[in-house]
Structure 1
Amino acid sequence: MLKRFCCLFLTVMLVSPPALANLAETLKKIKPSVVGIGVFTPTGRPQNDLRGTGFVIGNGQYVVTNFHVLPAELDKSLKQSIVVFSGSGKNPQTLRAKVVARSEYYDLAVLKTDGPALPAMTLAGERYQSEGSYVAFTGFPIGAVLGLYPVTHRGIIASITPSVVPVVDAGQLNVKMLKRMRDPYLVYQLDATAYPGNSGSALYDIESGEVIGIINKVFVQQTKEAVISNPSGITYAIPVRHLRDLLARHNIAF
């Protein structure tokens, strides 16, 4: 019995690398930089519509998220505005923001807030993170329902793969997908599960807390409605090199 217990203990130690033990400390450092992205409608009920996640960079006034998290347009008659939610719980700080850089192709957007500087995350370098690296992301899965309470998921980089996700049949193809098939860029495929609301979350190194990518989509097995009840467990993230390029083109210091 003692021998069997020792073998089991050794197995547990082997699958619990030191990197994972550092996640709690890394979280303390990066959580103040995790924000919600939404739309504020003064006459709305509710007034705030949480659409996704973002993270603070640079001088503390710039926020990164996904292009698809932004509204297609704001209703001027309702005096709508893009806002950043800082903090957690029922009474976060609400900061008005404007879009200062965007890339639909790489699904990235950069906002600038009009409020005080927030704690910023550090971007990793341009090189790709190695497959098998332990990573995590923190955001607001199903935040429109569960509220502004940050949730962390962890996993590994399972693969570095072209951005095109295979479709079941030709009927699912569209012009945008066909264009991307001709010139795909590489993205991180993760073995961690993201949910609606996680879009725009920073993918970061567990030990250093440096941003290595931006969560932007999950592989859908059946229908969009089944993403929550039957998740595929396959999530994709845009490498940070594309964010660095976008920031450099718009002279945004990071």
Structure 2
Amino acid sequence: MFQNKDTRQDNVNYSISYPSSRRYKPKFPWFKTIIIALIAGIIGALIVLGIGKVVDHTVPEKDGAKVNQSHSGSSGNTMDGKSDKYDSVNQMVNDISPAIVGVVNMQKVHSIEDFLEGKKSKAQEAGVGSGVIYQKNNKDAYIVTNNHVIDGASKIKVQLHNSKQVDAKLVGKDAMTDMAVLKIDNTKGIKAIQFADSSKVKTGDSVFAMGNPLGLEFANSVTSGIISANERTIDAQTSEGPNKVNVLQTDAAINPGNSGGALVDLNGNLVGINSMKIANEQVEGIGFAIPSNEVQATIKQLVEKGKITRPSIGVGLLNLEEIPDEYKD
């Protein structure tokens, strides 16, 4: 996301930890009981997950929960630059550009003058990112973007391809996956993008990053590159703590403001959502996108529940020093 007063680039903080070589033997007679309870909790969680999957297949999908899946068997070839669908890159870009939008994060600013005069605080532009329209119907259009693009917003605006700005409603968001879904009124001239199968993306495939680098002044920008690696797991720092994220690595230029934008193949299909880059003077051309298959799975939960539900085990932690001596060996 591009921030007006902060010129920092999106970056990934790496943290590598090594397991301790020390091992402790249990000294308490109730240790086995805790282990049994822990195993029972895990089994219970797995059963709940299994039931959840069955329910997902029996409950009708809400609007916005389903994406347009491409049926193309390939993503084009970087060696000959051929597309199964278009005669040129220019034709592809012009066709799918109406699916790429700007996302404006509006936040209330409290001033002393407004307080003294009894005026309400006004929402001002705090940052700008990108988004992708992935579904539309007769009434609404749904947009996927990064959570950090809209984080802290009191109001969200979306700038369409024709520069028209409309109000957006937050459908759901999740900090750990850094994904968010917005909804706007369906407007003439917009388009819903098709999703590629990111499991079929290969290292060396041509890709294009589409979005708004450095804000709306450079809206509708396109940069090109290749998939540098198709199976990366990186340590990302989110607003809810550290998390391991599966990503596609690309050398297509990703700059502040590109966050939430589209990474597409030669056929104009979405292979990922641009999310992060390594910002360092000694590093060049290392950007990351969330794979389209993971985006699709996250979208479904955000639309249906407004959040991502994660299983948890009801096991509490105790400080061993607080346990009475009579319960110790």
Q: Provide the TM-score with structure 2 as the length reference.
A: 0.56
**Identity across the alignment (%):** 26
Which consecutive segments of 4 or more residues in structure 1 shift more than 6 A?
41-46
Deviation at 1:106, TM superposition (A): 1.6
CA distance in 1 between counterparts of 2:124 and 2:245 reads 38
Q: Establish whether residue 35 from structure 1 lines up as the match of residue 101 from structure 2.
A: yes
Quick one: structure 1 residues 73 and 37, their matched pair in 2 at CA, closer, same or farther if it must change by over 3 Å? closer
Instruction: Show CA shifts across 1:178-216 (max 9, x none).
Output: xx3xxx34210101221100001111112x111010000
The CA RMSD over aligned residues, in Å, is: 3.2
Contact 1:101/1:246, CA 8 A, preserved across alignment: no
CA distance in 2 between counterparts of 1:152 and 1:212 reads 15
2:206 aligns to what?
134
CA distance in 1 between counterparts of 2:106 and 2:152 reads 14
Quick one: structure 1 residues 99 and 160, their matched pair in 2 at CA, closer, same or farther if it must change by over 3 Å? same
CA distance in 1 between counterparts of 2:248 and 2:218 reads 26
Instruction: Show CA shifts across 1:44-78 (max 9, x none).
Output: 9995455101111111610111111013242xxxx
User: 1:239-254, aligned counterparts within 5 Å?
Assistant: 239-250=291-302
Q: Establish whether residue 57 from structure 1 lines up as the match of residue 141 from structure 2.
A: no
Deviation at 1:34, TM superposition (A): 1.0
Q: Kindly provide the amino acid, as one letter, of the partner of residue 209 in structure 2.
A: F
Q: How many matched pairs?
A: 209
Q: Which runs of 5+ in 1 are unaligned?
A: 1-13, 75-80, 167-171, 223-229
Q: Kindly provide the amino acid, as one letter, of the partner of residue 190 in structure 1.
A: T
2:280 aligns to what?
221
2:44 aligns to what?
none
SS of structure 2 residue aligned to 1:56: strand
Contact 1:157/1:188, CA 8 A, preserved across alignment: yes
Quick one: structure 1 residues 104 and 45, their matched pair in 2 at CA, closer, same or farther if it must change by over 3 Å? closer
Q: Kindly provide the amino acid, as one letter, of the partner of residue 196 in structure 2.
A: A
Deviation at 1:162, TM superposition (A): 3.2
Question: Mean alpha-carbon deviation: is it higher for 40-49 or for 232-241?
Answer: 40-49
Instruction: Show CA shifts across 1:7-32 (max 9, x none).
Output: xxxxxxx9663359721111011111
Contact 1:126/1:241, CA 8 A, preserved across alignment: yes
2:253 aligns to what?
193
CA distance in 2 between counterparts of 1:42 and 1:95 reads 18
Quick one: structure 1 residues 53 and 126, their matched pair in 2 at CA, closer, same or farther if it must change by over 3 Å? same
Q: Kindly provide the amino acid, as one letter, of the partner of residue 148 in structure 2.
A: H
Quick one: structure 1 residues 162 and 127, their matched pair in 2 at CA, closer, same or farther if it must change by over 3 Å? closer
Contact 2:105/2:149, CA 8 A, preserved across alignment: no
SS of structure 2 residue aligned to 1:141: coil
Q: Kindly provide the amino acid, as one letter, of the partner of residue 141 in structure 1.
A: P
CA distance in 1 between counterparts of 2:278 and 2:169 reads 30
SS of structure 1 residue aligned to 2:197: coil
1:7 aligns to what?
none
Which is greater in Rg?
2
User: 1:1-254, aligned counterparts within 5 Å?
Assistant: 17-19=81-83, 22-40=88-106, 48-59=125-136, 61-74=141-154, 81-88=155-162, 92-116=163-187, 118-125=190-197, 127-143=199-215, 147-165=217-235, 176-177=241-242, 180=243, 184-206=244-266, 208-222=267-281, 232-250=284-302
SS of structure 2 residue aligned to 1:18: coil
SS of structure 1 residue aligned to 2:199: coil
SS of structure 2 residue aligned to 1:163: strand
Quick one: structure 1 residues 251 and 149, their matched pair in 2 at CA, closer, same or farther if it must change by over 3 Å? closer
